[in-house]
């Protein structure tokens, strides 16, 4: 299973989300078709652009609850003090991807930042 974790500023557009996902996948030499789902943190569950991106890509959007996000936070690569302050994790995109991909998941690299959106790709522990 391959998950694209999404973090964003408030009010981003669906094209911003899609561009960040595409950029993160390209950085890993992957195609959009490799994805199993999108994931984000519960504070982002009102960001309609994330769910619109999921619909456009025909992928489910997994909303990661706070306790799961915090549990995955110790395994992130990137560290944003703003993200830590607002969401309780040093990287919403990385922690969301890790939590949604399940036990033993790993990041393929640090998050990609594209304007107001961050995207990180994680694979489940049984995928490799």
The DSSP bridge partners found for residue 93 are none
CATH architecture of 2-123: 2-Layer Sandwich (3.30)
Q: Say what the pLDDT of residue 21 is.
A: 97
Q: Which one, of 19, 15, 14, lies nearest residue 32 by Cα?
A: 19
Residue ranges of domains in the chain:
2-123
Q: Say what the pLDDT of residue 90 is.
A: 63
Q: Which residues of the chain have pLDDT under 70?
A: 84, 90, 126-128
- Give the tens place of pLDDT for each residue, 23-60: 999 999 999 999 999 999 998 888 999 999 999 999 99
Q: Say what the pLDDT of residue 127 is.
A: 45
């Amino acid at each position: 299973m391959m998950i694209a974790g999404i973090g964003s500023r408030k009010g981003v557009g669906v094209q911003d989300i899609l561009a960040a996902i595409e950029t993160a996948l390209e950085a890993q030499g992957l195609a959009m078709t490799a994805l199993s789902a999108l994931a984000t943190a519960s504070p982002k569950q009102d960001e309609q652009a994330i769910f619109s991106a999921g619909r456009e890509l025909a992928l489910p959007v997994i909303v990661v609850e706070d306790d799961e996000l915090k549990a995955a936070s110790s395994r992130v690569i990137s560290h944003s003090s703003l993200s830590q302050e607002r969401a309780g994790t040093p990287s919403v995109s990385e922690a969301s991807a890790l939590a949604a991909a399940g036990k033993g998941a790993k990041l393929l690299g640090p998050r990609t930042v594209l304007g107001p959106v961050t995207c990180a790709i994680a694979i489940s522990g049984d995928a490799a």
